């Protein structure tokens, strides 16, 4: 296995990241269409965050030898994971407090995922409703460590890359 600082310059790690995000999206569709769990507005935003990670991974994989592709990939990866973590924490707070959220998605007109891909991004459920648990943890509670793991892995790889870059310039 190559050192951590070289991982972003190879295609396979980016494709592994893409596969993990795709698996999460497929799980969401399984929950919706097989198990009959209707997604709320925060659920579809959390799907959007995962789609951002997936897009970043595919961009990174498309040209891992170029700085621009890696920068775009990391930006979408970290942005999607950070936004998703914030959404999952907000979702947990709503479920714990009995409050609710918007019923309609509020995507910008130029990025209307709920109209373009309603089968994936149209909310039909309520944020305060806990429809599923795994070992006593609700859906957003299971997403918090997943998004945190995405962020942690990105941080470790970026710090390794920065350390290597700094050492190579100051050696």
List active site positions.
40, 43, 47, 101, 127
Task: Determine how many CB atoms are found less than 10 A away from the CB of residue 164.
Answer: 14
Question: How far apart are alpha carbons 144 and 110 in whole angstroms?
Answer: 29
Contact 60, 14 (CB under 8 A): yes
Angle at 134 between CA 55 and CA 87, to 5 degrees: 40
């Amino acid at each position: 296995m190559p050192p951590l600082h070289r991982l972003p310059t190879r295609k396979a790690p980016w494709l592994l990241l893409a596969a993990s995000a795709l698996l999460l999206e497929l799980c969401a569709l399984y929950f919706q269409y097989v198990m009959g769990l209707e997604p709320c507005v925060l659920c579809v935003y959390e799907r959007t965050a995962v789609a951002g990670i997936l897009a970043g991974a595919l961009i990174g994989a498309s040209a891992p030898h170029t700085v621009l592709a890696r920068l775009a990939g990391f930006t979408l990866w970290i942005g999607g994971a950070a936004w998703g973590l914030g959404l999952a924490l907000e979702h947990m707070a709503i479920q714990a407090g009995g409050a609710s959220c918007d019923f309609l998605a509020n995507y910008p007109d130029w990025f209307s995922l709920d109209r373009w891909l309603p089968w994936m991004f149209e909310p039909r459920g309520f944020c305060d409703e806990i429809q599923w648990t795994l070992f006593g943890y609700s859906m957003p509670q299971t997403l918090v460590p997943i998004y945190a793991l995405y962020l942690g892995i990105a941080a470790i790889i970026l710090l390794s890359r920065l350390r290597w870059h700094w050492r190579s310039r100051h050696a």
